[in-house]
Structure 1
Amino acid sequence: MTDPSIRRILFPTDLSACAEGAFTHAAWLADRFGATLYDFHVRETPGFPPLDWVDDLVVTAEDVAADLGLPLAPEAEPLRPIDLVHEEREASDVAAAILRYAADLPADLIVMGTHGRSGVARARLGSIAEAVVRHARCPVLTVRPDANGGASAFREILVALDTADPIPPEAAWAARLARAYHARLHLLRVVAPSLLHPQASEASRRAHLGLGRLEGQLGSEGVPAVVSRVCEGDPAAVIAETAEEIGADLIVVGSHGREGVRRALLGSVSETVIRHAPCPVFVARHQGEGSAARIE
């Protein structure tokens, strides 16, 4: 089975320390997927001089593997430079500029840093990263600095699933990421509490069966280690609790890309997870209802 090709990875940067960690992951994925990495900086100050030094930047697979503490693949060329393109534009609305550039490429994946603000600033979803996540047409990986302010490999990946059959995009992406980082993959289905919903026990049984099939399929597709669980409760709360329990380094969720009022209300599980997750979050887009993702 194959999934959509990843040829162009967009890395928007504000040149902050948070962006540095995200760049490491963007470069690692570009190397693993054989993609071109587009480094994109928006100048908000008119007349600000361009960053000429970026054009001379050379990053190799060996550099990135060392930063993440990951082994190089046997077939890797350690000293081969990652295909890196730098682009700068001047704009007052940074998020809009990023989204336009992503659409122009078009980007297959966006990787960007987030400052992980708390309190009112985070609740208002005012950050550039959150605006990009909400409106991008492609998957978005938001990366927060680790405890040391840098980048760490994803070793425990949690993917929250609405369904296991057919295979949703978030499962296919999680499998690719698990292989890229040699990580353990945790599959999670959340069903309604049985005391409130008499059919929940049947829903739980079906969820277990679906996850069992998916677990076996992912294992046969080369995912290093796959475990699964079914839990009852509020989806966003259960995802957060499970992430903390397993020490998740990355949470993968799906988004149906709702428009209009339904999007403005910000009631979706994925947006709640993005607001409150203690670790990086990968948001996979559902391109069309009823379409199954494929795993490579």
Structure 2
Amino acid sequence: MRRQINRILCATDFSRFSQEVVNYGIQLAKEFHATLYICHIVDVPTVSVYGEAVIGPIEHQNRFMEYARQEIENLVGDESIEYQPLITLGIATDEITRLARENIVDLVITATHGRSGLKRFFLGSVTERLMRTLPCPLLVLRGMEEGASPEKPQKFPFKRILVGCDFSADAAKAFDYSLSMAQEFESELHLVHVVEPSGYKDLFKLPAESGDKFKQDLYDMINDKLMAMVPKDALSWITLKTKLLVGKPYDELVRYAEINDIDLIVVGIRGYGMVEELLVGSTTDRVVRQSPCAVMSVSAK
């Protein structure tokens, strides 16, 4: 099923990575002939980015809003594209989700921020919360750790797209979006299924000959299922590659992306309870944190 992208929302916090995030939004909007919204959320209690302390928040709101409009205009620069700035006050996750719903957005673009350990345990991140609250896919660009040297620019357009396939409802929707992207950019499409050894403990108890046959049968079955996901007519405009890997899904997907010089990873996301999310995280969260390239998360909801 072809997924249309008619409205794109690009979220910026005016960090040093903001220009690349906005550039991605501009290029995608041009490619899909989409409406572009560029949003910034003013969080009044934490306004160091605006260069001054806040004594009377209400008095300074207009100044902050005007500053944000000017910064967005500077980020767009001379690009010949129609865009609409969206500037509001509040909590970033809540406001970005609200704006995406109100404007019937098809794709949100943001970037990760370096955070690990206890800080992530207690606070999570805006990106990880957005993956669970947005009504549309989230395209996450890899940001930089504070104090780190700049990384090489992330690639556009996406010529090699990897989609993690576990045959669930969320993975099926992720595949739809990856197929649409592959069609738009005439990309290589890599369908990868990861088998976790813990799910096949009995396999390792079989005699060598029986075990090898079982593994080959399993590979053939999964490869057939992966191939069956792709409409036959799509094979005329994409280069399709399938792969069965063994290990932890997030480790194997990231490793595969690094080895094969992938430009975009597309993964589905399913809901998690608070305790599970804090203590364990999900495959999608971990792929986003460790990926060498952009990641699109897609919810089945």
Paired amino acid for 2:107: L
Work out whether 1:9 is the aligned partner of 2:26: no
How far apart are 1:186 and its partner, in Å?
Answer: 1.2
CA distance in 2, matches of 1:34, 1:243: 29
Secondary structure at the aligned position of 2:93 is classed as: helix
Per the TM alignment, residue 149 of structure 1 is displaced from its structure 2 partner at its CA by 5.6
Gap regions ≥5 residues in structure 2:
45-56, 145-149, 204-213
| Alpha-carbon distance between aligned partners in 1 of 2:177 and 2:12, rounded to the nearest angstrom | 23
CA RMSD, Structure 1 to Structure 2 (Å): 3.2
1:210 is aligned to 2:214: no
User: Aligned partner of 2:92: which letter?
Assistant: V
Matches within 5 A, 1:4-43: 5-43=4-42
> Which of 162, 187, 190 is residue 191 of structure 2 equivalent to?
187
State the alpha-carbon separation in 2 of the partners of residues 218 and 116 from structure 1. Answer: 42
Q: Which consecutive residues of structure 1, in runs of 5 or more, have no partner in the other structure?
A: 64-80, 288-296
| TM-score, normalisation: structure 1 | 0.76
**Is residue 156–residue 249 contact of structure 1 (8 Å, CA) maintained in 2?**
yes
Question: Match of 1:249?
Answer: 263
| Matches of 2:267 and 2:18, distance apart in 1 | 22
- % identical equivalent positions: 27
Give the whole-Å Cα distance in 2 for the aligned partners of 1:167 and 1:260: 22
Q: Which residue matches 2:282?
A: 268
Deviations 1:93-133 (A, max 9, x none): 22222222222223221111222445554565632222212
Contact residue 8 and residue 106 of structure 2 kept, 8 A: yes
**Per-residue CA shift, 1:206-239, capped at 9, x if unaligned?**
211112233563743633x221111122212211
Within the alignment, does 1:196 sit opposite 2:201 as a pair? yes
**What secondary structure is seen at the aligned counterpart in 2 of 1:106?**
coil
Count of aligned pairs: 266
TM-score by length of 2: 0.75
Partner SS, residue 196 of structure 1: helix
Q: CA deviation at 1:36?
A: 0.9
Whole-angstrom CA distance in 2 between matches of 1:245 and 1:58: 33
> Cα 1:249–1:145, aligned 2, differ >3 Å: closer, same or farther?
farther
Q: Specify the structure having the higher radius of gyration (Cα).
A: 2
Going by fraction, where is helix more abundant, 1 or 2?
2
* Cα distance in 1, alignment partners of residues 122 and 11 from structure 2: 21
Distance 1:152 1:19 in 2: 16
